[in-house]
Each structure stands twice: as C-alpha cells, then as structure tokens.
Amino acid sequence: MKNKGFSPMQPYLFVKNCKNNEVLRNSFFDLGEEIFSLNLRTWHENNCWKDDYIPYSFAKNGVIIANASANLMKFCLNDGIKHYIQIGTVMTHPDYRNRGLATMLIEKILADYKGADGFYLFANENAVNFYPKLGFYKTKEYLYRQNNVACGGLAAEKYDDLRHKERLLHILQHRKTFCKLQMQDNIGLTTFHINSMKPYIYYVSPLNAFFIAETKGSTLTLYDVFSDNRMRESDLLPYFPANVDTIEYGYAPNDISQSTLKNDGDDVLFTKGNFDEFIKEKLCFPLLTHA
C-alpha cells in the first residue's frame, strides 16, 4: 500500500537535526557505524559537522531507527552557481525496514528544499529500484583519464598533521577552481574525506598545493587538488612517481577533454530536478564530494 505520510499513531518521533541532542546524536552515530561502518563520532569531535549537514530521522524510545540526511551543496559550474541537495546517510535499522520510513524522510527533504536547483544521491545496487519511485532518474557520469603522461618523480611531502594541518585548512577556505564542477564552501564534507585519506595526501611546497592521490602500478588516481594559486593539472606532473603513465581523475578537470562513461559500481547517480547542464557537459560529481 502506498505510504501516505507520517501518522501520529505510529510510535516514532520525527527529529530534524539531532546534532544538539547528545542522546540522539550518539544513537545516530551508532546507527551509521552499524549500517555503513561510518566514523561520524570522530568527525563531530573534530568540529567538522557544520550547518550544511542536516539529518532527518525517526526515533523510538530515544534511539534513532531511520535516517536520511540533507547535504546543502553549492557548486561552481560554467562560471555560475548551482545549489543542489545531496541526500545521503540513508539508513534504517534492520528491525524497522519495509515500513516506508526512508520514503517519508526523503519526501520531507524534497518538500523542505523544493526551491533548490536539484536533488541527487548515490545508491548501491540494492537500492537502484527504490529511488525512481520518488521521482529520481538514473544519470550517467563520466570518467576523465589522461594517457601517455610523463611524470618527473620529484618528491612531494607526505602530509603530516603537525606540519601541514593549519596550512591545509587555510587553503581549503581560499582554494581556486580546478575542475568543471567544483564544490564551494562545504568544509565539513571535505574534512570528512580528508580525515580518512591522510596516507594519500601530499604537499608540494613550490606550488603551495596539496593533492590526494593513490598509485596502483602505472596508474595514478588523482582524487583532488587544493591550492590558493591558479595552476593547471600539468603543473603537478613533475611530482608524481616517474613510473606513472596514466592519470585517472576523481573529478572533471578543466584542462582534460578525454572522457568515457563511468561504470556504475557501488555508486549509481540518481538526480531529480534541473541537471541539463550537468548532462550536456558530460560531468561527474567529484569523488570527494560524495556524502
């Protein structure tokens, strides 16, 4: 039977943003760890939970049993600004599934932010049949790759909190645009990813730039670049390992035009609203903006 919305007869309490309720906040952290192995507690303790991350939850007896979060996303696209809502952390405790709780929470987010340019989310293969029922469409993303590159093998500094943290935080607040679709102002989401990827962060002093990259064989995946200077991706080539001949980008770089359709994998993009420009430009949401 189609869900008509929240009924006061149901023994669930709707909670918008549990951040300032210690009991519910810790229960939210526990559910995130149980369902997705997310370490949101440390993220919060490091003061990274900002006002642009808003959980919509149902609680029962002081315990969060279902959640869908609204991430207020601001992107620079073709010299314009897009205000999107990324829906993430969609989870329901196993004992309360198949009751329409996630549907009700997402519908509430859609209603509260109906003035946004659009909504999007990433779904795993187990949920791809769920989101079209809420008006979302499966949307293709593109992978950008550069082949036959010549890298110099110059040493870049491995990231160290004591030496680099303050500089990185400063650059995050003043970074220049490096890609065709770049997130603006969402320090909380950026630091969430940075905290989990510290072994892959490097600093290049002559460029005053940080980059996050992982090398497998002769292929380097460049997840993101942070600098307060105007620069090109090619400026970093001397600082990549000399054996690298292929670069795969975790974003759509300004200076690279060669792209192919991405395999869906575990992150299938669904969109709702105006994404015509995104589709026309053959873009992808940067990997380090996924919530």
Which CATH number is 133's domain given? 3.40.630.30
Answer whether residue 18 is part of any domain.
Answer: yes
- Cα distance between residue 190 and residue 42, in whole Å: 14
Whether residue 130 sits in one domain with residue 48 = yes
Whether residue 174 sits in one domain with residue 110 = no
Whether residue 279 sits in one domain with residue 227 = no
Answer whether residue 4 is part of any domain.
Answer: no
From residue 143, alpha-carbon distances to 84, 233, 250, 261 in Å are 21, 16, 8, 6
Q: What is the largest CA-CA distance in the chain?
A: 66
Answer whether residue 127 is part of any domain.
Answer: yes
- Return phi, psi of residue 260, to 5°: -135, 160
- Cα distance between residue 74 and residue 118, in whole Å: 11
What is the 8-class DSSP label of residue 212? E
Q: pLDDT tens digits for the chain (291 residues)?
A: 344 444 444 689 999 999 999 999 999 999 999 999 999 999 999 888 999 999 999 999 999 999 999 999 999 998 899 999 999 999 999 999 999 999 999 999 999 999 999 999 999 877 888 999 999 999 999 999 999 999 998 989 999 999 999 999 999 988 888 889 999 888 888 888 988 899 999 999 999 999 999 999 999 999 999 999 888 888 999 999 999 999 999 999 988 878 898 877 778 999 999 999 999 999 999 999 998
Nearest Cα neighbor of 126 from 75, 96, 169, 92 is: 92
Whether residue 84 sits in one domain with residue 53 = yes
Answer whether residue 8 is part of any domain.
Answer: no
Helix axes 187-196, 161-174, angle to 10 degrees: 150
What is the 8-class DSSP label of residue 69? E
Answer whether residue 123 is part of any domain.
Answer: yes
| CATH code, domain carrying 222 | 3.40.630
pLDDT of 256 reads 83
- Token match 């370490």: residue? 39
Whether residue 255 sits in one domain with residue 191 = yes
pLDDT of 5 reads 43
- Cα distance between residue 278 and residue 258, in whole Å: 16
Answer whether residue 5 is part of any domain.
Answer: no
Whether residue 150 sits in one domain with residue 282 = no
SS3 at position 283? coil
- Cα distance between residue 263 and residue 144, in whole Å: 12
- Cα distance between residue 200 and residue 178, in whole Å: 19
Whether residue 105 sits in one domain with residue 242 = no
- Cα distance between residue 165 and residue 285, in whole Å: 25
- Cα distance between residue 26 and residue 22, in whole Å: 6
Whether residue 149 sits in one domain with residue 72 = no
The answer to whether the CB of 18 falls within 8 A of the CB of 28 is yes
Whether residue 125 sits in one domain with residue 53 = yes
Whether residue 90 sits in one domain with residue 26 = yes
Nearest Cα neighbor of 119 from 134, 102, 141 is: 134
Q: Which domain holds residue 40?
A: 13-141+263-289
User: What is the tally of structural domains in the chain?
Assistant: 2
